[in-house]
Amino acid sequence: MSDYQAMQAELTGAIAAASNLDALEALRVAALGKAGSITGLLKTLGGMSPEERQSVGPQIHALREIVTAALAERKAALEGAALEAKLAGERLDMTLPAAATPRGSVHPVSQVMDELAEIFADMGFAVATGPEIEDDWHNFTALNIPETHPARAMHDTFYFPDANAEGQKMLLRTHTSPVQIRTMMSQEPPIRIIAPGRVYRSDSDATHTPMFHQVEGLVIDRGIHMGHLKWTLETFLKAYFETDDIVLRLRPSYFPFTEPSAEVDVGYRQEKGRRIVGGNGDDEGHAWMELLGSGMVNRRVIANCGLDPDVWQGFAFGVGVDRLAMLKYGMDDLRAFFDGDLRWLAHYGFGALSVPTLSGGISA
């Protein structure tokens, strides 16, 4: 066995036996580093005669290549084993019960939207959505609010500086009612939807924020009348406020997209500075509070969506979600909803794991 072969056997043996990456690196430096044994051999080539170099050179180069390959192979093996060990150490048992005190909480607006979805799902309503950046036609014109209508001024609309490709003015939707239009244009009746979401108006004080939340309701079917509307709202409010003692008062009103239109008041009483929903507003110690807008969908709106108003009728309603949350859970300043104050969220927020269900209790 030549000296080179002996060296090769010794080095590859040591490399195969290296038990970790540090030991392997020490071996690499000892053989191939600046002062390494193979490096030293390579340096001797310069001082050799051409004949000697021709016979010894290939052997030294072969030694270097074999040792380099052995180092790489062992390194890959050791790294693979290290990764396996790391993965094994990081394994999670997904069947373990959740932490007893989960961090974070569900915002009251999300909670109320979940409650509404649950309540209306039980009555056969699906949840529909639409874009928050709307065009003028869906937000106003199709809802029978023409260009010159004073309601446009009342909505304090945020407009975008540029029109869209069709020359439509673009805006932040001022209400969830455009989802009525989008739903009627994309679905065949019968339709039963609620549409919760963000809406925007240029308005700000203790009871108004530039962004707030509404939920829209829409039913389109044959032979729908105001009785269906009243029953639906009563059933919804009883489930939401978790009391059967809900008395509604429908007051004639006006909305361009409904005819006839009704504003819906609910009876309440004052207790320790808080409004408690329930009871007849005309009874002793009670009063009426305006809660939502509603009505029979205007024939013109149905026709604007390409449906025949002689065949299809329906009702619609719209209500402020933040307002519903404040009434049920007792907050008094709307602005706090959107401050992102963790103390407020810790106080008013809901457990991430307590999902509202009709069977289990709607407010969880």
Quick check: 294 binds ligand DAH (CB under 6 A)? Answer: yes
Cα–Cα distances in angstroms (integers) from residue 3 to residues 9, 56, 254, in the given order: 10, 11, 104
Question: What does the DSSP 8-state code read for residue 69?
Answer: H
220 binds ligand DAH (CB under 6 A): no
Asked if residue 258 binds ligand DAH (CB under 6 A), the reply is: yes
Q: Which of 212, 236, 241, 255 binds ligand DAH (CB under 6 A)?
A: 255
Query: Angle 340-130-210 (CA atoms, 0-180°, nearest 5)?
Result: 40
How near is the Cβ of 318 to ligand DAH at its closest, in Å?
Answer: 2
Is 215 in contact with 177 (CB distance < 8 Å)? no
Read off the amino acid at residue 198.
Answer: R
Kindly report the number of other CB atoms within 10 A of residue 256's CB atom.
19
Binding string, residues 295-334; x marks residues near ligand DAH by CB under 6 A: x--------------------xxx----------------
Binder of ligand DAH out of 157, 177, 183, 313 (CB under 6 A) = 177
**How many alpha carbons lie under 13 Å from residue 259 in its C-beta half-sphere?**
10
Least distance from ligand DAH to the Cβ atom of residue 273, Å: 28
CA 293 to chain centre: 28
Stretch that binds ligand DAH, among 8-16, 44-52, 130-138, 291-299 (CB under 6 A): 291-299
Around Cβ 172, how many Cβ atoms within 10 Å? 20
Q: Which is nearer to ligand DAH, 75 or 299 (CB)?
A: 299
Nearer to ligand DAH, 314 or 356 (CB): 314
Three-class secondary structure of residue 187 per DSSP: coil
Q: At its nearest, how many Å lie between ligand DAH and the CB of residue 221?
A: 16
In the complex, which residues of this chain contact ligand DAH (CB under 6 A)?
Answer: 175, 177, 216, 255, 258, 293-295, 316-318
